[in-house]
Structure 1
Amino acid sequence: MGSRTTINSSKWIANGAIKTDEKYNPILTLIYLPHLDYNLQRYGLDFSKIFKDLREIDEVVEQLVSHYEQKGAKIILLSEYGITNVKNPIHLNRILRKEGFVKVRIERGLELLDAGASEAFAVADHQVAHIYVKDSVNLDKVKAILTKVPGVERVLDKNEIEKENLNHERCGDLVVVANSDSWFTYYFWLDDAVAPDYAVNGRYS
């Protein structure tokens, strides 16, 4: 899977789930169909561009629902998240890199994020990002940097993380929330020519 994926990936997952069900008859099956992720993130709610994707995934879902209805299974269709149009991409790792916190390593002439060597880095997904800071002495400085970024609505520190019931052991040292018109990328490279090979044209959407 990845930004170049087609409906064939979701078809393969669906067919694998059906074959597994027929062979092992499990009491619980969880199936993730990734097909809508990429073009919805590229084009938002532009139905002129995503109509084909919607039709394709509908056919796969119909196949699965028909199979499990015949088996008498209880079916739950669940959306992982909602999509809304945004205009302002925020590259948190690029910002942290320019401030000297993010480190990269070179493999085959391309840059990869070196989380272990980084003093701080972001794990970003859509409108929320977790910031991991190696040394607590840098927490206030990192928070101050990110708070000033246009499009950042909130930067939660330890006390605010606890207040929001986000204090899981794997939660970031800071949690950043974008405003309604912005979203976070994970991009850390400064030159598209050395972007990692999983990025398409320097971008992974």
Structure 2
Amino acid sequence: MIFSHRMLQASAGLTMLVVAIHTSAQEGPSFKCTCVKPGSMEDLICKSPELATQDRDLAAAYNGALKKAGNRANTLKAEQRGWIKGRDECWKSDNKQACIQDAYRQRMVELQAGYGLVPATGPVTFECAQDGTLSATFFQTEPASMMATYKGEQSLMLIDQSASGARYQGRNGSFWEHQGEARVTWGYGAKEMTCKKHN
């Protein structure tokens, strides 16, 4: 069979179109953009390659967490629905893109650290004198994070810039370790504790 030059060009164009559609599908978020409301936060995600990538990555982490959740699966699903509602509140922000990026970054760390999806170091025990014992597990998330356990409660903290040592900041607490000694605050307005690494 003899193909004309024009037929070959048409064939090549069709192949490129198919590749482009396939690539476009891979580059989109984990949800269907044809079903989103114009002007919504999902619409913004669909229009931003960076946000779409974050959404795909988070969806993969969420599925990984579901596989490891066991009897916590229903709780995880409820938390994820709540997180999506929180993410969509970014419409109130002056910088919606940055707000959504931060929401994805925080949630990714929560899933990776909370369900052991990335390498970790620990737990490491710190003796806080009369204040008791604190346990810390450090995760290779981005940004780096740690899960601290103190008096039966857990707190996820993200690494913060520090002149020396490693400083982590959580919602209502902080952890700053330098040369085997940690300064810890636990709870809003709580006094600072000095804790030493248990060898």
Q: TM class, shorter-chain normalised?
A: under 0.3
Q: Which has the higher helix share?
A: 2
The structure whose Rg is larger is 2
**Larger relative contact order, structure 1 or 2 (CA cutoff 8 Å, min sep 6):** 1
Greater fraction of residues in strand: 2
